[in-house]
Amino acid sequence: MKQSVKMIVGNWKMNGVSAALAQAEAIRDAVGTTEQGCRVVLCPPATLIDRMQSALTGSGVAVGGQDCHEKPAGAFTGSVSAEMLADAGATVVILGHSERRSAFGETDADVAAKVEAAIAAGLEPIVCVGETLQQRESGDAIAVVSGQVAGSLPSSLAERDFAVAYEPVWAIGTGLTPTLDQIAEVHAAVRAAIVAKLGDGARTAPILYGGSVKPDNARDILATPEVGGALVGGASLKAEEFMPIVNAAA
């Protein structure tokens, strides 16, 4: 596994039609004129992956998916396989996002199976973990997140490129952000859980922070120990908001 520079990932969620490609192109143009001190990935809806990849070919911006099915093919109406994402031009895929875990009932075992599918298709997985507000307030945040790491990362990830994204559920889209000390504490626990599961070879896997990352807090968050990048939601939809975050990592 290679030592990674900071990794800034934009998760567009269920946002974006053809007109939104102009924002991706603006991000492409801006990244092309800045120091290449970080990796930049945009994860649009599946309907835009092929067109976005065409628009970003040759640039410093990669394209990823937001989820994949654990099976390579079959009678799973409405689902998208990892192979399909790769065929459309994706090189990365977000798995186990809290919105998938809560709204679709995905378990750690489900996420681990999807990671295996991503590996088989040649995609780099970004595996999401995080606690709810109730779990945070009850003092269970570290145990919950460490357990999710152990259950969601299959042993086949050892020596492969992957990332883990810590996203406190209570901070996603709420404007709330943990303190820098809280972020550092959880990221240290995530690192320990990764190494316990996969060994020292996984010590350089980036741990991204996600949860109301904005231009005005990005630099401090990215300077926090064990923060290897950011998983950015709403602020990634517009170049004028996303690029200050990218520049803070460069």
Q: Which residues are catalytic?
A: 97, 167
Nearest CA to 81 among 68, 92, 90?
A: 68
Which positions make up the binding site? 11-13, 173, 212, 233-234
Write the burial class of residue 132 (CB in 10 Å: 0-12 exposed, 13-18 middle, 19+ buried). middle
**Both structure tokens of 105:** 């009932």
Q: How far apart are CA 48 and CA 237, in angstroms?
A: 13
Q: How far apart are CA 166 and CA 32, in angstroms?
A: 28
Q: Hey, which bits of the chain come out as E strands?
A: 6-11, 38-43, 61-65, 92-95, 124-129, 163-166, 207-210, 229-232
Which positions make up the binding site for substrate? 11-13, 173, 212, 233-234
Q: How far apart are CA 64 and CA 202, in angstroms?
A: 22
φ, ψ for residue 232, nearest 5 deg: -110, 130
